[in-house]
Copies of this chain bind each other. A is one copy, B any other.
Amino acid sequence: MDTAERRILWVNPVGTPAFDAETRELIEEVRRPGFVPDVRSLEHGPPHLEYHTYEHEATGPMLALMREADEAGYDAAIIGCFYDGGLREARELCSMPIVGMEEASMAYAATMGHRFSVIVGRRKWIPKMTDNAVLYGHERRLASMRSVEMGIPEVLADPEAFYNACIREARLAVLEDGAEVVILSEMATPAFWRRARAEVPFPIVDPGVACWKFAEMAADLYRTAGYSHSKIGGHEAPPSSVIVSR
């Protein structure tokens, strides 16, 4: 029996702590005892990640946090964004498992039904998220990506409109695209989920919940069975002496 305490780093890769409290709250609802979250955001970074350039800006500081945690003996780390930006680099740099929000959500959703759809904020997000899905192996399982056409600021400004748009698109994904499961590409509040579960007869996955639980599993598999990213190919680490400082 595995009773060791595991520390899991969760990075919200934005230059604001605005999302950290609700991240901690969400984790608190679903974590097992023994898994200790360390939720962090960036000292300097973009306000959100709607643009790939912003993602790039956020990746350097996020990698620095992850490397530090890896050296400090953390057991897993989470990229708190559905683009999974920096996943390849983080796995190259760290020994501990790195969990991407999109990868984990889709890995689980793929076991929940024949096909799943993803609700995204804006059409802009679809190309990269779809490319990720292709590389993760879910091309055939991805029924559709549907956009509510609300950027992060709009979502924050009008949560009621966001809720309604999500539910409408989720229903259409089921009716028109053949989805049996829906994944939200953004974390939502407990209130959102209580309403959603009462109103729709099919599962909608919160990516924060899915990736946190995936990280608990990854942390245990790492420490108990030694499973982490293979280091003999694409994730071979650079020699530590020549890592360019940031």
Q: A residues engaging B (CB < 8 A)? A: 1-3, 28-34, 45-47, 50-57, 59-60, 63, 86, 88-89, 92-93, 97, 99, 103-104, 107-108, 110-115, 123-124, 126-128, 130-131, 134-141, 174, 178, 180-181, 193, 197, 201-203, 205-206, 209-210, 213-214, 216-218, 220-221, 224-238, 242-244, 246
List the B side residues contacting A216 at CB < 8 Å: 217
Instruction: State the CA gap A54–B136 with chains docked (Å).
Output: 24
CB pair B244 A227 closer than 8 Å: no
CB neighbours (8 Å) of A123 from chain B are 232-233
Q: Are A244 and B88 in contact (CB under 8 A)?
A: no
Chain copies in complex? 6
Q: Given known contacts A56-B89, A216-B217, is B232 in contact with A206 (CB within 8 Å)?
A: no
Q: Jot down 26 A-B pairs with beta carbons below 8 A, ordered by A.
A: A1-B28, A29-B224, A30-B225, A51-B92, A51-B236, A53-B92, A56-B63, A107-B107, A107-B108, A108-B217, A110-B136, A114-B126, A126-B234, A127-B180, A127-B234, A134-B134, A137-B138, A180-B235, A193-B225, A202-B231, A203-B228, A203-B230, A205-B227, A209-B227, A210-B227, A214-B217
> In the bound complex, do residue A113 and residue B235 qualify as a contact, i.e. CB atoms below 8 Å apart?
yes
What B residues does A47 contact at CB under 8 A? 242
Shortest CB distance A220–B (Å): 6
Return chain B residues, CB-CB under 8 Å to A112: 97, 227-230
Partner of A54, one of B1, B60, B225, B238: B238
Are B114 and A244 interface neighbours, CB within 8 A? no
Q: Which of B59, B104, B111 contacts A56 (CB 8 A)?
A: B59
Known: A107-B107, A213-B220. A232 touches B137 (CB 8 A): no
Q: List the B residue with the shortest CB-CB distance to A57.
A: B244
Whether the Cβ atoms of B234 and A128 lie closer than 8 Å is yes
**Residue ID in chain B nearest A44 by CB atoms:** B244
Measured CB to CB, the closest approach of chain B to A216, in angstroms, equals: 7
Complex contact A124–B233 (CB within 8 A)? yes
The residues of B that contact A55 with a CB separation of less than 8 Å are 89
